[in-house]
Amino acid sequence: MKISIILSAIYTALPLSVFSETVYTGDIISGHKVISKLDISDLPYNSLTKLWLRMTKSHVGQHLHVPILVAKGASDGKRIVFNSGIHGDELNGIRVVQRVFKDIDTSKLKGAVIGIPGSNVNGLYNERREFYSSFESGILTNLNRRFPGNSTARLDPDKYVSILWDNIYNTNNINVVCDFHTQTSNYKFPNFVYADYRVPYVKTMAELTGADIIKIDDGTSALGSIEVVNDNSGRPSITYELGSPLLFQKDQIQRAYDYSFRLMTDLQLYPPTTDKESIDSFQQFKSKTFSGNAFGFAEIDSGGFVERYVDLLEPVKKGQIVGSTFNVFGDKIKDIINEHDGIVTSIGTSPLAIAGDYIVNTIYFSKDPKCSDGGC
């Protein structure tokens, strides 16, 4: 009796996380088990596990399911999440995750890596950036502004996000997060990173990419994103943009694939590569990386047909004409003037534009103190 009381007191005093475990629903889809919660601790060492995370239900009462990959090494160590596809038209990162997990040798891995090859399955089904809800006349929601979500919210997007947050990110002692993106439809990026240098280790994460552009960024324009919410939760994170939407671009995918293994190596999860081509390529890219803390947007104030005169990564000057708009008869409406010396970091790709569209986005380094952390 006395022993039972003592044991009961000990168990009551222990944190609940000690008793955390992966929760299986009992369902199997395409040969893989369905879970409602992931706990890496109860997965076998030296293993690659493929699972489905049960999400919210569609309007016909069927659950959506997010694919989850877990590579667990032969011993304990740091834990990384590689997310992709939180926007359904951004596909390069999905292929990165697929390839990384195909090639990980778990016998050489120390720690664990979680991969999410397409976290917004609703957006993927609709081939669009947002999560679509048929509520009332239809609602489009950017899931990457809704984290950490709310399980008691009225609408699905917040519930959906809370499942990812509560059952993947916030329950597995994650150390580092990389969220793969591309530009959205009708725009394109180079190889590009958003990184909050105030957060320890984030600068290292960003520089290990060898990206064309690094935007030193305080996250104020992306509140509720995977990057910002994880940063604020003590998990160093970056948003890694890989070119253009609705495509598999081999060069972008390869750069992010190589980065994933470099990051694992830097965190002492995985041995360094001996591939000379990969090493040399990274050094060449890194030597050309441009870091800026401010954006400049060349926008239009009326609709029209757009002709652009600059492309990605071109240097531009203040006052330079970077494009023009024309009416349907071909008469020029207006020249588009660049407002800052900088480098072109994003452009619109469609000749059709409407008021408020930005035509050319430049990045530059501002000495204004208010921009020092990247809030410009």
Quote the CA–CA distance of 210 and 188 in Å, as a whole number. 18
Of 205 and 299, which is predicted with more confidence? Answer: 205
As a whole number, mean pLDDT of residues 212-234 equals: 97
Quote the CA–CA distance of 197 and 187 in Å, as a whole number. 26
pLDDT at residue 137 is higher than 60: yes
Quote the CA–CA distance of 230 and 177 in Å, as a whole number. 7
Predicted pLDDT of residue 13: 37
Q: HSE (CB half, 13 Å, CA atoms) of 179?
A: 23
As a whole number, mean pLDDT of residues 111-122 equals: 98
Lowest-confidence region among 18-22, 119-123, 180-184: 18-22
Quote the CA–CA distance of 323 and 300 in Å, as a whole number. 10
pTM here?
Answer: 0.93
Q: How far is CA 306 from CA 246, 322, 366, 368, in A?
A: 22, 10, 29, 32
pLDDT at residue 121 is higher than 80: yes
Of 183 and 8, which is predicted with more confidence? Answer: 183
The domain ranges of the chain are 23-292, 296-369
As a whole number, mean pLDDT of residues 371-376 equals: 93
Confidence class of residue 234 from pLDDT cuts 50, 70 and 90?
very high
Note whether 179 and 115 are within 8 A (CB). no
Q: How does the average pLDDT of the chain come out, rounded?
A: 93
- The architecture that CATH gives domain 23-292 is 3-Layer(aba) Sandwich (3.40)
Confidence class of residue 136 from pLDDT cuts 50, 70 and 90?
confident
pLDDT tens digits, one per residue of 265-292? 999 999 999 999 999 999 999 999 999 9
Q: HSE (CB half, 13 Å, CA atoms) of 362?
A: 22
Fold classified for 296-369: OB fold (Dihydrolipoamide Acetyltransferase, E2P) (2.40.50)
pLDDT at residue 2 is higher than 50: no
pLDDT tens digits, one per residue of 17-70? 344 699 999 999 999 999 999 999 999 999 999 999 999 998 888 999 999 999
As a whole number, mean pLDDT of residues 162-179 equals: 97
